[in-house]
């Protein structure tokens, strides 16, 4: 795991974009794993300038019970923040209205395999250490499946829903094992509310109670955080030194 500590949220987004840009320039037909949420919005604004016409994408998760036309669905989110401005060759979205959820999830996994695997997986980080919708307690070897959200996650996500609408309790999400299969994982986190989760994921023990901690075991994971999110990292000054003095051939 490479931990990159930068000063501001804008710096986190800029470095994340640089990694995506290099991936797409190196391999125009890249397979990208896409996350959602407020952290990703400024990143997707930058990614609109990229030529993604040969890229294939897979989204991390979706709410069960919401159609792709529902304004709070992640399908709608992706159209709004990326696909309308920078269309991709092929995008795969989990279907919140799938009649046979286990079969749909198996087909999603098979589609990733057929595409050749995910080259770069974008990730956000929940305040409790979840990645995708893999809540604390999720199996670290899990595959795409249905999950039940914790009350804290539903409260956190309620700001994206109208006051008279309840956040769905059920979701579909790539599993932790699915995420770990990606060739390169790029996680972005900023703000003091993420400090505890960042510390647990980077310097804590690998545990299902902090699903993001499994990324310590990934062959190539870049954890990009701002100074506030890095506040509880014991080795934050060392991480800065390593990043600032990394030889160019290691890029």
- Residues designated as active site: 61, 128, 130, 135
Residues in the chain: 251
How far out from the chain centre does Cα 21 lie? 16
Would you call 245 exposed, middle or buried from its count of C-beta atoms within 10 A (0-12, 13-18, 19+)?
exposed
User: 46 CB contacts (<8 Å, ≥6 apart)?
Assistant: 13, 14, 17
Q: Sheet containing 2-6: which strands, arranged edge to edge? A: 2-6, 221-226, 184-189, 120-123, 31-34, 56-59, 90-92
Token pair for residue 251? 């890029």
Q: How far apart are CA 101 and CA 106, in angstroms?
A: 9
Scored b (16 or more CB within 10 A) or e, 126-139 reads bbbbbbbbbbbebe
Strand partners, 34: 59
Confirm if 43 and 122 have CB atoms less than 8 A apart.
yes
């Amino acid at each position: 795991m490479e931990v990159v500590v930068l000063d501001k949220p804008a710096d986190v987004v800029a470095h994340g974009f640089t990694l995506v840009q290099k991936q797409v320039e190196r391999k125009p037909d890249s397979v990208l794993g896409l996350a959602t949420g407020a952290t990703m919005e400024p990143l997707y604004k930058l990614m609109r300038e990229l030529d993604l016409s040969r890229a294939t994408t897979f989204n991390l998760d979706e709410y069960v019970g919401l159609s792709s036309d529902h304004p709070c669905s992640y399908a709608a989110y992706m159209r709004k923040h990326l696909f309308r401005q920078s269309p991709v060759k092929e995008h795969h979205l989990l279907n919140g209205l799938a009649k046979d959820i286990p079969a749909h999830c198996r087909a999603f996994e098979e589609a990733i395999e057929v595409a050749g695997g995910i080259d770069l997986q974008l990730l956000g980080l929940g305040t409790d250490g979840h990645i995708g919708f893999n809540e604390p307690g999720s199996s670290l070897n899990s595959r795409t499946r249905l999950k039940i959200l914790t009350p804290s996650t539903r409260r956190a996500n309620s700001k994206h829903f109208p006051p008279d609408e309840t956040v769905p309790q059920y979701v579909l999400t790539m599993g932790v094992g699915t995420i770990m299969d990606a060739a390169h994982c790029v996680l972005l986190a900023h703000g003091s509310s993420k400090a505890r989760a960042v510390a647990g994921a980077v310097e804590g023990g690998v545990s299902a109670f902090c699903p993001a901690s499994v990324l310590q075991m990934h062959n190539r994971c870049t954890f990009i955080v701002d100074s506030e999110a890095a506040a509880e990292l014991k080795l934050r000054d060392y991480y800065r030194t390593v990043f600032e003095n990394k030889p160019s051939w290691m890029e």
